[in-house]
A and B are shown apart, each in its own frame.
Chain A
Amino acid sequence: RKEVEQDPGPFNVPEGATVAFNCTYSNSASQSFFWYRQDCRKEPKLLMSVYSSGNEDGRFTAQLNRASQYISLLIRDSKLSDSATYLCVVFVGTGGFKTIFGAGTRLFVKA
């Protein structure tokens, strides 16, 4: 089993749709959680950190459920420019440093 697993995708949605990405992690010692965005053939860039209380940044909402070891990202009112791969990232600090990237979920937003 992979340490960080994401929806395989791709997701194909029309503009204006709401889309949700899911991510699960296996290490209960995981400490920090992030969503990164990666455009085709480019480097990843931080989209948002994920906190237990949930956090929102404009059209983007991230949630963390530590009991279920589950992270989500919700995008409302999708734009064409949201088309990208979304990477779930988990940092485990116990027993040695480890930042683990999920394989990513590709999103295509169509006009």
Chain B
Amino acid sequence: DGGITQSPKYLFRKEGQNVTLSCEQNLNHDAMYWYRQDPGQGLRLIYYSQIVNDFQKGDIAEGYSVSREKKESFPLTVTSAQKNPTAFYLCASQGTLGTGELFFGEGSRLTVL
């Protein structure tokens, strides 16, 4: 079945450690996104990518990094520079940037101890 797969689903990290969240899609979508969701808040955009080898900062990119070496994959690294990384992270894809339905992965819940 086509869809988006995020891993891991749950992740615990010590302060000062970098962690990479995986996002893979087999929908043949060009656009991919990373969002962060905190309790009681809407989704906030971290990074997005329109095509392979290209990505743009969203509203809260500080402390995060991404890569888009393959169309199917858009991993997110939460670096030690991110001051408050505990959150629910959602990856999404879209056929064409800004057009049509956003398809989300099941999310990765990161807790910093």
Given contacts A43-B90, A43-B104, A44-B104, contact A97 B41 (CB under 8 A): no
Pairwise interchain contact B104-A101, C-beta atoms closer than 8 A: no
Looking at the complex, which one of A4, A31, A97 makes contact with B48 (CB distance below 8 Å)? A97
Pick from A41, A46, A87: contact of B42, CB below 8 A: A87
How many of chain B's residues have a CB under 8 angstroms from any CB in A?
A: 23
A98 and B35 alpha carbons, distance in the complex (Å) = 12
Once the chains are docked, how many angstroms separate the CA of A43 from the CA of B88? 10
In the complex, what distance in Å separates the CA atom of A99 from the CA atom of B97? Answer: 10
Asked if B106 and A43 make an inter-chain contact with CB atoms under 8 angstroms apart, the answer reads yes
Please give the distance in Å from B111's CB to the nearest CB on chain A. 13
Tell me if B107 and A101 are in contact (CB < 8 A).
Answer: no
B51 an interface residue at 8 Å Cβ cutoff? no
Which A73-111 residues have a C-beta within 8 angstroms of B? 87, 89, 91, 93, 97-104
CB-CB under 8 A for A91 and B98, given A4-B42, A42-B107: yes
Q: Are A103 and B106 in contact (CB under 8 A)?
A: no
Give me 9 A-to-B residue pairs in the complex whose CB atoms sit less than 8 angstroms apart, sorted by A's number.
A4-B42, A32-B98, A32-B99, A34-B101, A41-B88, A43-B90, A97-B48, A97-B56, A99-B33
Give the interface of B toward A (CB within 8 A). 33, 35, 40-45, 48, 50, 56, 88, 90, 97-99, 101-102, 104-107, 109
Top 8 nearest A-B pairs (CB, nearest first) are A43-B104, A101-B42, A101-B43, A103-B42, A46-B101, A93-B98, A43-B107, A102-B42
